[in-house]
Structure 1
Amino acid sequence: MSFDYINALQKKPTTRTPIWVMRQAGRYLPEYRATRKQAGDFMSLCKNKELACEVTMQPIDRFDLDAAILFSDILTIPDAMGLGLYFSEGEGPKFTSPIQSLADIEKIPTDVTNELTYVFDAVATIKKALNNRVPLIGFSGSPWTLATYMIEGGSSKTFANTKRMLFNEPQALHLLLDKLADSVIGYLNQQVLSGADSLMLFDTWGGVLSKQNYLDFSLDYMAKIVKSIKALHPTVPITLFSKNGGKHLTDIADTGCDGVGIDWTVELDDVQAQVGDKVAIQGNLDPAVMYATPEIIEKEVKKVLSKFKGNTGHIFNLGHGITPDVDPENMKVLVDCVHKFSAR
């Protein structure tokens, strides 16, 4: 398989800078909103392989993107562990049975692949529909990020319960993270077996930790996952993305991953100076640029492209997910500009 996206991750020559965008299948697209309405609710959409395939393909059919990403959610694993995931309108994910004690952690299962067959069925369905047009990215949340949702019972601004456990009962938190790491390994392995060409770990909340706590409670577990997946699938590229993780980039690059995702708070050339050619770099246009005029989007794209000094190893992306109120026409401008100004 020769695709610019895969080649960039493997630091091989590319014909142009490949681009895909976090949350590229999502609420900014009217066709996505129509399909979600048809599904009834978000998790029903995730659990219907035909509809999950349909929304994965929508941005691929509309824009000249270089990769598709599985339509799913990072919280499928905690849901499969029996924590009762549900989505409140306008409030994000919640759990009916959050983790509150060591006893709760001891009870949860580690192998949940049987409960997640709907995800693997979706991967296989999407892979077939793509018919080798572009590669398919599979993904999971990082153990630390999953743990925060499980302990807080949803999203949080302070992470009070998780940090209370981190400082008061670190051994309990390590047990949870270890179980989650094993679950993620099984989950990602099965995604590859079902057809995923590349993998991503989303560490959305890694940036809320101090340096040492980040290494001990987040990166160590991502490194364990990378090592295990590489042992099973040596040629499948893995990208790690820690939001607000700019201060940890050399440590992330040392995990054995193929790509490091960066947000918009760091500069691409600074990142390259830190990690050299050890890993490919994915990023990092500020998502807010997508509210700008086409002329400004073009100018900002050129700025990001000019910061990358290598010939290979850059995947263009936003520094975080595309926001729901962005005009889809601006996405077309973005993708076309990246290709136009990076063509070799």
Structure 2
Amino acid sequence: MKNDLLLKALSGKPAERPPVWMMRQAGRYLPQYMKLREQYGFFERCQTPELACEITLQPVDIIGVDAAILFSDILVVPQAMGLEVQLIESKGPFLPDPIRTEADLQRLFIPDVHEKLQYVFDAIQLIKKELNDRVPLIGFAGAPWTILCYMVQGKGSKTFDEAKAFCYTQPQLAHQLLQMITNTTIAYLEGQVEAGADVIQIFDSWGGLLGPADFEAISLKYIRQIVNALKDKVPVIIFAKGAWHALESMAATGAQGLGIDWCITPQMARSLAGNKVTLQGNFDPAKLLSPVPVIKKEVKEMLFAFGSERHIVNLGHGILPNVPVDHARAFVDTVKEWRNSGSNNAHFD
């Protein structure tokens, strides 16, 4: 691997600087992506390995990030399980027949991932070939709780109240569904690793909607199964937005990395997570709309706050579609100017 900074950071090995990549880096803020969006539907882009490959490589070539992340979507899993998923441009996902009852659950099945999701594995193999070991490739899936949110709510939501009500009023059914999602996700991610993914990230976008006890029972219980199945094969990063209270429990899963959002300080995150796990984050994506000199100043402050060890520079959530490309590049370039020379002597070129 020509650039193995991400792998070094996840294993705790010293490096000249931390790696940098951005969640949702392959997509909507890049003019090159927008041209493809005008020509092809969303799932057409996901399901055509050549298009998924082209989109995955764009930020590596244009922005210069230290890792590629597969262009796909977390909702390919419910799709593979038998649920119709539509993605309406500028509005988000829509599932016309959500899961609300035991009869609804009977419509679902645990798929043969090589039958239903082979296009993802084909894309990974193509991406790995085209990357030619320039940078690592990150594969991913949604956490079971986050996937359940969409499968039950039927669309995006700020509160996912119907998904929560489903878990509280029909707990047996909810846990049955969560286990089905978990089993599918484990097979899916194992397939990604076999195809060549170097790192796996689990996105629990809606983990922060659950209180501590519910997060453990409804979300982390299932994430733990996924980490257990994968951690000896490939480094795993858990990103549970808003669930900072569970950093200690998430670190105990054996995941090598934990993503954090901008609502927690690096010092507090480190005190909760301990020193044996790598922290990833936590720049506020909206701050990339600031003038470039402000971005550079704030990135430097973030780097000093995290220190020199076990840090992957990233945003605290996905990049916004209206971020100018040169602002994204300024974010990445500022990290590339950082030099580690002992934890107390880090500096910028």
- How far did 1:225 drift? 0.5
Query: Which residue of 1 is the match for residue 71 of structure 2?
Result: 71
What amino acid sits opposite 1:102 in the alignment? Answer: E
In 1, the alpha carbon distance for the partners of 2:224 and 2:216 equals 10
What amino acid sits opposite 2:199 in the alignment? Answer: S
Structure 1 gap segments, 5+ residues each: none
The yes-or-no answer on 1:57 pairing with 2:73 is no
1:18-72 CA deviation, whole Å, 9 max, x = no partner?
A: 0000010111100000112222x11100011001100111111112211000000
- SS of aligned partner of 1:248: helix
- SS of aligned partner of 2:117: helix
The structure 1 residue matched to 2:260, chosen from 259, 262, 281, is: 262
The two structures have a TM-score, normalised by structure 1, of 0.96
- SS of aligned partner of 2:138: strand
**Structure 2 matches for 1:75-94, cutoff 5 A?**
75-94=75-94
What amino acid sits opposite 1:261 in the alignment? Answer: G
The sequence identity of aligned pairs, in percent, is 44
What amino acid sits opposite 2:64 in the alignment? Answer: D
- SS of aligned partner of 1:199: strand
Kept after mapping to 2: 8 A contact 1:287/1:321: yes
In 2, the alpha carbon distance for the partners of 1:62 and 1:17 equals 20
In 2, the alpha carbon distance for the partners of 1:197 and 1:86 equals 29
Kept after mapping to 1: 8 A contact 2:29/2:320: yes
Question: Alpha carbons of 1:268 and 1:176: their partners in 2 closer, same or farther (altered >3 Å)?
Answer: same
- SS of aligned partner of 2:140: strand
Moved over 3 A (4+): none
The yes-or-no answer on 1:228 pairing with 2:225 is no
Query: Which residue of 1 is the match for residue 5 of structure 2?
Result: 4
- How far did 1:267 drift? 0.6
- SS of aligned partner of 2:314: coil
**Structure 2 matches for 1:194-233, cutoff 5 A?**
194-230=195-231
Kept after mapping to 2: 8 A contact 1:81/1:112: no
What amino acid sits opposite 1:295 in the alignment? Answer: P
In 2, the alpha carbon distance for the partners of 1:201 and 1:290 equals 24
1:126-155 CA deviation, whole Å, 9 max, x = no partner?
A: 111100000000000000000000000111
In 2, the alpha carbon distance for the partners of 1:306 and 1:248 equals 24
In 1, the alpha carbon distance for the partners of 2:238 and 2:141 equals 10
What amino acid sits opposite 2:37 in the alignment? Answer: R
Query: Which residue of 2 is the match for residue 135 of structure 1?
Result: 136
1:217-272 CA deviation, whole Å, 9 max, x = no partner?
A: 00110001100123xxx141000000111111111111111100000101112111
Query: Which residue of 1 is the match for residue 297 of structure 2?
Result: 299
Query: Which residue of 2 is the match for residue 120 of structure 1?
Result: 121
**What RMSD over aligned residues (CA atoms) do the two structures have, in Å?**
1.2
The yes-or-no answer on 1:272 pairing with 2:273 is no
- SS of aligned partner of 1:127: helix
Query: Which residue of 2 is the match for residue 27 of structure 1?
Result: 28
1:269-305 CA deviation, whole Å, 9 max, x = no partner?
A: 2111222212100000111110011110011101110
Query: Which residue of 1 is the match for residue 317 of structure 2?
Result: 320
**Structure 2 matches for 1:101-120, cutoff 5 A?**
101-113=101-113, 114-120=115-121
The yes-or-no answer on 1:243 pairing with 2:241 is yes
- SS of aligned partner of 1:315: strand
1:193-237 CA deviation, whole Å, 9 max, x = no partner?
A: 00100000000001001110000000110001100123xxx1410
In 1, the alpha carbon distance for the partners of 2:233 and 2:51 equals 30
In 2, the alpha carbon distance for the partners of 1:25 and 1:270 equals 30
Query: Which residue of 1 is the match for residue 177 of structure 2?
Result: 176
In 2, the alpha carbon distance for the partners of 1:129 and 1:89 equals 28
In 1, the alpha carbon distance for the partners of 2:81 and 2:296 equals 45
1:155-211 CA deviation, whole Å, 9 max, x = no partner?
A: 122322212211111111000000101000000000000010000000000100111
The structure 1 residue matched to 2:282, chosen from 281, 284, 288, is: 284
What amino acid sits opposite 1:173 in the alignment? Answer: A
- How far did 1:112 drift? 4.0
Kept after mapping to 1: 8 A contact 2:125/2:196: yes
Structure 2 gap segments, 5+ residues each: 342-349
Kept after mapping to 1: 8 A contact 2:82/2:107: no
- SS of aligned partner of 2:180: helix
Kept after mapping to 1: 8 A contact 2:139/2:197: yes
- How far did 1:90 drift? 2.4
In 2, the alpha carbon distance for the partners of 1:112 and 1:42 equals 23
In 2, the alpha carbon distance for the partners of 1:260 and 1:205 equals 15
